[in-house]
Amino acid sequence: MGSCFSAESRSPLSGLPLSPHPAFDYRKKRNSRKKPGSVDFRKEEQLHRIPGRLFLNGSSGVASLYTQQGKKGTNQDAMIVWENFGSRTDTVFCGVFDGHGPYGHMVAKKVRDHLPLKLSAHSEVNISSEDVLREISLNTAGSVNSEETALISADKDSRASVDLDVTEKNPDIFKTLKESFLKAFKVMDRELRLHTNIDCFCSGTTAVTLVKQGPYLVVGNVGDSRAVLATRDKDNSLKAVQLTVDLKPNLPAEAERIRNCKGRVFALHDEPTVARVWLPNNDAPGLAMARAFGDFFLKDFGLISVPEISCRCLSEEDEFIVLATDGVKEPTWILIQNTDI
């Protein structure tokens, strides 16, 4: 939804034409013999029949879901609420995904359908985040501009976002969920890279996701979709508490990582407040986020899919959580009630 700059429409510098990246032509030729985006409807139907799994406008006793079609064409958003997640009656998974690029709607739906499965699988396997990072390091020795190299430093940032007081009181559940998020996001992005039916080279998606297990809440986020908590203050008035940070290229840590990987970060003259990610030697594509699933032509230049993770223990004052995309004319949101009060 407006996250990628159209290379044909404007130039970042007045009078300077944009030269296409050679990979654009390569991808066009490579995919000219097949039709991307074919879907295995049998697998989709099996997923959609799972009890407690919601992905269309509606509501349940736990959550409400809503998305609206705008006037720009295909709605590239996807959403999901999965109650009794991981066969636990006290657990729910929720996610909102904002696709971008030619096949962004397909990427968003692919992540919607498969990320929860991977998260559930890895939460039952004893794999530590150190093991994940060790595997990444061994697989990318000698690679300076790889996405995996950036993952290692990004995981350090992710650890800093966790509420230490909360995790110290409840170390096992938060440690398990955090490691599951890290592993699931990594495997999901790898699967997208290898997927032959969806062209994720110039398309991708954000993902703001959460697992609520009883009063415990873990949020994993890539991109600029948001999670917001509605809680009561001392006057019993509702106030909003943002649980995620918009992971955009203008953040100092994100910009530093991108530049260290030879990517470029700057805003257009007519959009001075919108920092974008550009290739080293070509003024393309102009992606307005620093982390995303897919978008593999930027993954060697600082774009990563490592989630920023936060943990929280909900209290009696906490009423509900909202997950939402940044769309105004095409909004997508999920409202999750805090039923453990």
| pLDDT per position as a tens digit, 306-332 | 999 999 999 999 999 999 998 777 789
Q: Residue 162 pLDDT more than 70? A: no
3 state DSSP class of 269: coil
Residue whose token pair is 């929720």: 94
Contact 292, 159 (CB under 8 A): no
Nearest to 226 by CA among 117, 335, 314: 335
* 289 to 109, 234, 284, 326, 338: CA distances (angstroms): 19, 36, 14, 12, 30
3 state DSSP class of 268: coil
> What pLDDT is recorded for position 258?
97
> What pLDDT is recorded for position 148?
56
Q: How many residues does the chain have?
A: 341
**Strand (E) or helix (H) holding 144:** none
Both structure tokens of 105? 């709607």
Rounded mean pLDDT, 259-284: 95
> What pLDDT is recorded for position 8?
38
Name the average pLDDT for the chain. 81
DSSP letter for each residue of 274-306:
-EEEE-SSS--EEES-SB-EE-GGGGGGT-B-P
One-letter amino acid for residue 176 of the chain: T
Within 10 A of 144 (CB to CB), how many other CB atoms are there? 10
Within 10 A of 218 (CB to CB), how many other CB atoms are there? 23
Within 10 A of 238 (CB to CB), how many other CB atoms are there? 11
Cis peptide bond prior to 285, omega within 30° of 0:
yes
Q: How many Å apart are CA 106 and CA 205, to the nearest integer?
A: 9
Rounded mean pLDDT, 217-242: 96
Stretch among 148-157, 162-171, 293-302, 319-328 having the lowest mean pLDDT: 148-157
DSSP state of 92: E
> What pLDDT is recorded for position 339?
81
Rounded mean pLDDT, 120-141: 52
DSSP state of 60: -
> What pLDDT is recorded for position 137?
45
Stretch among 41-55, 194-208, 295-309 having the lowest mean pLDDT: 41-55
Q: How many Å apart are CA 292 and CA 296, to the nearest integer?
A: 10
Q: What residues form DSSP beta bridges with 312? A: 217
CATH 3.40.640.10 is held by the domain 50-129+169-243+304-335: no
| pLDDT per position as a tens digit, 131-158 | 544 444 444 344 344 455 555 554 454 4
**Residue of higher predicted confidence among 297 and 340:** 297
Q: How many Å apart are CA 224 and CA 97, to the nearest integer?
A: 10
pLDDT above 70 covers a percentage of the chain that reads: 73
Contacts 24+ apart (CB under 8 A), 70-77: 70/327, 70/329, 70/330, 71/329, 72/1, 72/329, 72/330, 74/105, 75/105, 75/330, 75/332, 76/1, 76/100, 76/104, 76/105, 76/108, 76/205, 77/1, 77/105, 77/108, 77/325, 77/327, 77/330, 77/332
One-letter amino acid for residue 182 of the chain: L
Domain range list for the chain: 50-129+169-243+304-335
Both structure tokens of 82? 């999965």
Q: How many Å apart are CA 122 and CA 103, to the nearest integer?
A: 28
**Residue of higher predicted confidence among 337 and 147:** 337
Alpha-carbon radius of gyration of the chain = 20
Q: Residue 159 pLDDT more than 60? A: no
| pLDDT per position as a tens digit, 17-60 | 333 343 434 344 444 444 555 556 676 778 778 889 999 999 99
> What pLDDT is recorded for position 149?
54
